[in-house]
Amino acid sequence: MMDTGRSPVTVIGLGAMGQALAAAFLRAGHPTTVWNRTAAKAEPLVAEGAVRAETVAEAVEAASLVVVCVLDYPAVRAVLEPVAAKLSGRVLVNVTNGTAQEARSTAEWAAGLGAEYVDGGIMAIPPVIGSPEAVILYSGSREAFDKHADALATWGTSRFLGSDAGLAALHDLALLSAMYGMFAGVNNAIAMVRTEKVTAVEFTESLLMPWLNSMVAVLPMLAEEVDSGAEISHERKLVEQVALANIIETAATQGVAPDVIAPIQSIKDHA
Ligand SMILES: NC(=O)c1ccc[n+]([C@@H]2O[C@H](COP(=O)([O-])OP(=O)(O)OC[C@H]3O[C@@H](n4cnc5c(N)ncnc54)[C@H](OP(=O)(O)O)[C@@H]3O)[C@@H](O)[C@H]2O)c1
């Protein structure tokens, strides 16, 4: 590796995301050590200049910034527990998807080892890593985050949310819940129109996207209503109830299961 003056970094976990993170470090000139359970996945990165550690211990020892990006938190622990003592004095940045509670208990575990801990939530897909559109949420040790802010900025736009290590996961999962809810509604909408031979592409481009964009535009107003605690008017509730009942009836008539919309109707009924 060339001496670029950039700090050495380690990436543990070279799935689709870990590979993208390591590649971004390499492009920015960071001497990058990598480790993955399935060693062959390191090969493309080694061709780009990464050093493949033979063991997790070797990977951890190679840098003061240790990034871990594996499937889930049990995998994080499975990989790092055996080398826990070596984390002392290092910064562990864990960008594995997990719950807020998992993040908090991992922060405590790291603190007990004398390591600084930053939890991360990646709001991007691997091809976007390395561009400003890739938003990465962080929480935990502010000092540790600041120490490595330049290196982390090579992945995209960093957003530090606070010293409670669970905050990044909380916000990450809240955003994902908005996304999954939207996709479920979108799939339902497409299923409805496809019963009349309208293609998903035609519907999406001509009507669905403009409609969803106009709905996104009302979100600030909705958020203000929520924060103000204002009651939704009786008239608006009635209009929503009629529309939801009509969606369910029309979907059923067209042969589409009500699974997505029926729970929304039941929530609105409770309200
Ligand atoms: N891909 C995305 O679009 C995306 C976006 C945002 C966040 N993320 C998050 O990033 C993390 C990694 O995602 P990914 O897309 O890279 O997943 P992936 O391609 O399926 O890779 C999973 C990684 O976890 C490793 N792993 C799983 N179980 C393990 C264990 N018990 N011990 C050691 N290593 C283990 C795998 O090692 P092997 O190669 O040996 O199987 C591999 O490196 C996840 O938490 C995911 O939610 C992904």
- The 10 Å CB-count burial string (b at 16+, else e) for 49-79 is ebbbbeebebbbebbbbbbbbbeebebbbeb
Please name every residue paired with 51 in a beta bridge, in sequence order, or none if there are none: 33
The pLDDT tens digits of the residues spanning 10-30 come to 999 999 999 999 999 999 999
Calculate mean pLDDT across residues 46-71: 98
DSSP assigned state of 269: H
For residue 1, pLDDT beyond 60: no
The pLDDT tens digits of the residues spanning 101-152 come to 999 999 999 999 999 999 999 999 999 999 999 999 999 999 999 999 999 9
CA of 43 to the centre of ligand 1 (A): 17
CATH match for 9-164 among 3.40.50.720, 1.10.3720.10, 3.40.50.2300, 3.30.420.40: 3.40.50.720
Query: Would you say the CB of residue 75 lies under 6 angstroms from ligand 1?
Result: yes
Residue 3: band (very low, low, confident or very high) from pLDDT cuts 50, 70, 90: low
Q: How distant, in Å, are the alpha carbons of 15, 24, 134, 169, 234 from that of 20?
A: 9, 6, 11, 20, 50
What percent of the chain lies above the pLDDT cut of 90?
Answer: 92
pTM comes to 0.93
Question: Which of ligand 1's atoms lies nearest the C-alpha of 41?
Answer: 39
Q: Atom 32 (ligand 1): residue with closest C-alpha?
A: 75
CA of 75 to the centre of ligand 1 (A): 9
The pLDDT tens digits of the residues spanning 222-238 come to 999 999 998 888 888 88
Query: Would you say the CB of residue 69 lies under 6 angstroms from ligand 1?
Result: yes
Query: Would you say the CB of residue 41 lies under 6 angstroms from ligand 1?
Result: yes
CB 124 within 8 A of CB 156: yes
Question: Which of ligand 1's atoms lies nearest the C-alpha of 70?
Answer: 24
Residue 267: band (very low, low, confident or very high) from pLDDT cuts 50, 70, 90: confident
Provide the pLDDT for residue 230: 87
CA of 37 to the centre of ligand 1 (A): 11
The pLDDT tens digits of the residues spanning 169-185 come to 999 999 999 999 999 99
Q: How distant, in Å, are the alpha carbons of 9, 153, 216, 229, 260 from that of 264?
A: 46, 39, 19, 21, 7
Domain boundaries along the sequence of the chain = 9-164, 172-270
Is the domain covering 172-270 a CATH 1.10.1040.10 domain? yes
Query: Would you say the CB of residue 76 lies under 6 angstroms from ligand 1?
Result: no
Query: Would you say the CB of residue 96 lies under 6 angstroms from ligand 1?
Result: yes
Q: Atom 25 (ligand 1): residue with closest C-alpha?
A: 70
Is residue 266 classed as helix, strand or coil in its secondary structure? Answer: helix
User: With the C-alpha atoms ordered 123, 124, 125, 130, is the resulting torsion angle positive or negative?
Assistant: negative
Is there a common fold for 9-164 and 172-270? no
For residue 54, pLDDT beyond 80: yes
CB 19 within 8 A of CB 44: yes
Provide the pLDDT for residue 235: 87
Question: Which of ligand 1's atoms lies nearest the C-alpha of 13?
Answer: 43
CA of 54 to the centre of ligand 1 (A): 19
Token pair listed for 114: 């004398």
Calculate mean pLDDT across residues 188-192: 97
Residue 2: band (very low, low, confident or very high) from pLDDT cuts 50, 70, 90: low
DSSP assigned state of 195: T
The pLDDT tens digits of the residues spanning 192-221 come to 999 999 999 999 999 999 999 999 999 999
Question: Which of ligand 1's atoms lies nearest the C-alpha of 17?
Answer: 16
Tokens 């719950």, located at residue: 99
